[in-house]
Structure 1
Amino acid sequence: MKVYDQLDVERWPKQLVPCDSLVELSLGNCIIAPGRGLACVLRNCKNLEKLHLDMCTGVSDSDIIALVQKAKHLRSISLRVPSDFTLPLLNNITLRLTDESLSAIAQHCSKLESFKISFSDGEFPSLFSFTLQGIINLIQKCPVRELSLDHVCVFNDMGMEALCSAQNLEILELVHCQEVSDEGLILVSQFPSLSVLKLSKCLGVTDDGMRPLVGSHKLELLVVEDCPQVSRRGVHGAATSVSFKQDLSWMY
């Protein structure tokens, strides 16, 4: 089920929301009122396998906790959340997701394979939502194969070090993760199962961080896009297949 407007959904009577058999739920640009409409849906999807929330304001920790306590088959979670700058503009709604949600996911989602976090506005990143420790805790407790972090300013070289113990991680994507430097990038060669690395618009990584990967046959695929300090020459031979693009217009 895909929903892009909450107005009709908010009119659903609680008892008529048919979601016992729902396996995939994608919500975009919805305002979720506590105890009504979509909040009721989230709390009753016991067979849900895939959840995608794109700019859904009003989703609370209690909604996510209630969901994961019932949805024991969740395999994929994708969250694109409003930044701290955006939230005050939306009718004074102050609800935000925190580490409590991540902790509940880590505790209950034993089948989680794909986890993606994206913050909507990189110019005004969220400083009071998820912490580095919350993300690390989830990765260490769930069998995550694919991790994607977009504008997650708290993820840094310490986070990269923690991924050295992520036994199931095969695909890592970092977009606008400016706190990751060469010191963290060189640790990629120590990730047990990683085969695909995607870097986009990361200012802190350079050709020096790529050197341990060159000729190592560690990666099957390396994608580097719009990272100003990484050159085509620097990524040559760093994976079986390499994709390199550089358009720095995003910086100006």
Structure 2
Amino acid sequence: MIALSRGCSNLKSISLWLNLQRYHNEATTSFTDITLYALALNCRKLQILDLKFVGCSPDWPSEIGFTQKGFLVLIQSCPIRVLVLHRANFFDDDGMKALSSSPNLETLELIRCEAVTDAGMRFIAHAPCLSNLTLRVCHEVTDVGVAELGHADKLVFGH
């Protein structure tokens, strides 16, 4: 991935499915913060990021090989307009707070992101360009969190 990132100055979209079922006997995947930093440095036109995690154990953040900090470096270094996170349990309310100041983020899809709560909804309601939000099976977001989104005039809610 690092080698790929060196030649991706025009890359605008990445979709990764990280299947961790085969890694249960290993500590982490080879996708690390260093990989994310390389993408942030070399892929400055990246606009669409889609990450899906498959086969994760309940304590899986230790299995993925990168941190929320590394992920946010990538998000803050690139003009991400569309972000899709599926079972990204490393991503929590602090991540939502960081996203809320993202100047380009227009579309956010959170699917089975169990670490995002009502507090995260309060933060993301203030994202300057966010107009499309999809929440699916995010059990820690309640009616209280959804009500927080009512303050965001631009949002169109997905199902």
Do the structures match in fold with TM over 0.5? yes
Count of residue pairs brought into register by the alignment: 156
Equivalent residue, structure 1, for 2:108: 172
Q: Which residue of 2 aligns with 1:232?
A: none
Distance 2:113 2:152 in 1: 24
Amino acid aligned to 1:77: I
- 1:126-179 per-position Cα deviation (integer Å, ceiling 9, x unaligned): 523221001111110000000111111110000000012210000011111101
Aligned to 2:53: 119
- 72-81 or 205-214: bigger deviation: 205-214
For 1:147, what is the secondary structure of its paired residue? strand
Amino acid at match of 1:164: S
* Counterpart for residue 124 of structure 2: 188
- State the distance in 2 between where 1:122 and 1:97 align: 15
Which whole-Å CA distance do the structure 1 matches of 2:132 and 2:34 have between them?
A: 30
The answer to whether residue 16 in structure 2 is matched with residue 107 in structure 1 is: no
| Aligned-partner SS, 1:185 | helix
Q: Specify the alignment match of 1:20 in structure 2.
A: none
Identity percentage over the alignment? Answer: 38
2:82 is aligned with what amino acid? Answer: E
Q: Structure 1 residues 95, 148: CA separation in 2 closer, same or farther (over 3 Å shift)?
A: closer
Inter-partner Cα distance in structure 2 for 1:133 and 1:150: 18
Shift of 1:123: 4.1
What is the aligned counterpart of 2:31 among 78, 82, 97?
97
For the pair shown, the structure with the greater C-alpha radius of gyration is: 1
TM-superposition CA deviations, 1:56-97 (whole Å, max 9, x none): xxxxxxxx11111112110001110122x42257xx8x7521
- For residues 117 and 144 of structure 1, what CA distance do their matches in structure 2 show? 13
Point out where structure 2 has 5 or more consecutive residues left out of the alignment.
none
Q: Give the TM-score, by structure 2 length.
A: 0.90
3-state SS, counterpart of residue 214 of structure 1: helix
Q: 1:215 to 1:66 in 2, by over 3 A?
A: closer
Matches within 5 A, 1:2-151: 64-83=1-20, 85-88=21-24, 96-124=30-58, 125-128=60-63, 129-151=65-87
Matches of 2:44 and 2:136, distance apart in 1: 29
Q: Which runs of no fewer than 5 residues in structure 1 stay unpaired? A: 1-63, 224-242, 244-252
| Cα distance change on mapping 1:155 and 1:175 into 2, 3 Å | same
Q: TM-score, normalised by structure 1?
A: 0.58
Q: Distance in 1 between matches of 2:46 and 2:152?
A: 29
Matches within 5 A, 1:193-208: 193-208=129-144
Aligned 1:203-218 pairs, distance under 5 A:
203-214=139-150, 216-218=152-154
Cα separation, partners in 2 of 1:199 and 1:70, compared to 1, 3 Å: same
Q: Superposition RMSD on alpha carbons, in Å?
A: 1.8
